[in-house]
Amino acid sequence: MNTFTYSAPTARQLPDTPTPRAWVGCLGCYNGGLLNGAWVAGTVAGDVSRALKVKLGEPAIYGQNCLVCVKCGSDEFNVFDHENYGGLLSGECDPMTAQRMAELWEELEESDSGEELRAYAANLHLSLSDLGTWRDDFENNYIGTYGSFREYADSVADDVVLAGVNDETVKRYFDYDAWARDLAHDYTVLELPDFSVAVFSD
């Protein structure tokens, strides 16, 4: 059995507010030494026009929704800071990336297997931002979450191995410890922050 402990995000990474936020600003102003932008909800960061209009007032727009900074004329915007992404973002990025990661954060928060997905990614050194490329592997290998591996092993013994056995003596003397010990070689067990374990087939 491969047992790994998944550490929950540090206090710096844990969200202080319910959703991720991004500071979207003008790249031209930033390069000129001026900060011109605003904090917006991460889930709308990619729609720069809409996001900044709410915070900064009506921006100058020309053509097909091409946003132009009213201070310097630049049409390039970037995310210069962010918070509450739970480790999904690091450093600066473009607004669409910030929005995609905020949507992924919400998906993980709403998912019944969000912690399991995080633990699986950490164990295999996968990026959560690439979830679409490895989620099928997760779904195929994920057995379930249990209080301990022994709880899972006992359920397999009772529901599969001993299900067809009618001899009560055999059932009474079945060695659950040895069974769990042997079974563990075929699984990866990841400890979760709530002290339960996620069980994956190898």
Tens digits of residue pLDDT in 6-62 = 344 443 344 444 789 999 988 888 898 888 888 889 998 888 877 776 666 555 444
Low-confidence ranges of the chain (pLDDT < 50): 3-17, 60-64
pLDDT at residue number 191: 94
pLDDT value for 5: 43
Q: How far apart are CA 106 and CA 117, in angstroms?
A: 13
Residue 57 has a pLDDT of: 59
Of 86, 117, 91, nearest to 101 by C-alpha is 86
Q: What is the pLDDT at residue 54?
A: 61
Q: What pLDDT was estimated at residue 171?
A: 77
Q: What is the pTM of this model?
A: 0.63
What integer pLDDT is reported at residue 180 of this predicted model? 93
134 and 94, same domain (yes or no)? no
Q: Are residues 100 and 140 in the same domain?
A: no
Greatest Cα-to-Cα distance within the chain, rounded to the nearest angstrom: 84
How many domains does the chain fold into? 2
* pLDDT of 55: 62
Which of 53, 80, 110 finishes a domain?
A: 110
Q: How far is CA 201 from CA 16, 142, 184, 186, 190, in A?
A: 35, 7, 10, 6, 11
Whole-number pLDDT of residue 192: 92
Query: What pLDDT score was predicted for residue 10?
Result: 41
What is the pLDDT, as a whole number, of residue 66?
59
Query: What number of helices (H) and strands (E) belong to the chain?
Result: 8, 9
Same domain as 104, residue 144: no
The one-letter code for the residue type at 51 is A
Asked if residue 15 belongs to a domain, the reply is no
Question: Distance of alpha carbon 162 from its chain centroid, rounded?
Answer: 38
Residues of 120-158 as b/e, b for ≥16 C-beta within 10 angstroms?
A: bbbbeebebeebeebeeebeeebeebbeebbebbbeebe
β-pairing verdict for 66-68 and 77-83: unpaired
Which residue range(s) make up the domain with 70? 21-110
